[in-house]
Amino acid sequence: MTPRWRQAFDKAEGAFAPRLEQATASSTFADLMAAGARLANLVTTETERASRRWLHLWNLPAAGDIAALRRQIAGLEREVRLLRRAAGTADVDGSAA
């Protein structure tokens, strides 16, 4: 037998879920999400810029510097992958792995 609390939950969920799903599927919600993404991007950029300036003042690396370094390393890794592929050493079979 379904407990009473569950019956109440199902009733409430049955009433709210379709409305919420409709709301999240609406064009207005998509616009809000887009505005939110733009705002978050702006805030992140500005915060990073300010903190980077402050950290650089103390000769310390900022998160952006680390990210740039990681991107550079990733770029190098991709080049190594291409070179290994050209040299025929990109694949590792099961026995060697």
Partner 1 sequence: MSAPLPTAPSTSPSLADGVSRRVRRGWNLTRHVLGIDRAAMARTPRDQVWTRDKVTLWRYRSDQPTLRPPVLLVHSLVSRSYIFDLQPGNSFVEYLLERGFDVYLIDWGVPDESEAANTLGTYTDDYIPAAVRIVDRAGGNQGVTVFGYCFGGLLALLYAAGHGDDPIRNLVVMATPGDFDEMPPAMRGVGAGKIDPEHVLDETGNVPAARVRSSFQLLRPTGDLATYADFWENLHDDGFLTTYQAMTKWSRDHIPFPGAAFRQTVDLFQESNALVRNDVHLDGRRLDMSKITVPFLNVIAERDHIVPPPATAPITGLVGSEDVTELRLPSGHVGLIVGGTARRRSIPAMADWMEAHSDAAHPDPAHAQAS
Q: From the list 1, 57, 87, 92, which residue makes contact with partner 1 (rule: CB under 8 A)?
A: 92
Distance CA 31, CA 79 (A): 40
| Nearest partner of 66 among 51, 81, 85, judged by Cα | 51
Q: At 90, phi and psi to the nearest 5?
A: -75, -30
- Minimum CB separation from partner 1 for residue 57, in Å? 22
87 binds partner 1 (CB under 8 A): no
Is the Cβ of residue 53 or residue 81 nearer to partner 1 in the bound state? Answer: 81
Q: From the list 43, 46, 81, 83, which residue makes contact with partner 1 (rule: CB under 8 A)?
A: 81
Please check whether residue 48 is in contact with residue 63, taking contact to mean a CB–CB distance below 8 angstroms: yes
Question: 47: exposed, middle or buried (C-beta count within 10 Å: 0-12, 13-18, 19+)?
Answer: exposed
Residues forming contacts to partner 1 in the complex (CB under 8 A) are: 2-3, 6, 9-10, 13, 16-17, 20-21, 24-26, 29-31, 33-34, 37-38, 40-41, 63-64, 67, 70-71, 73-74, 77-78, 81, 90-94, 97
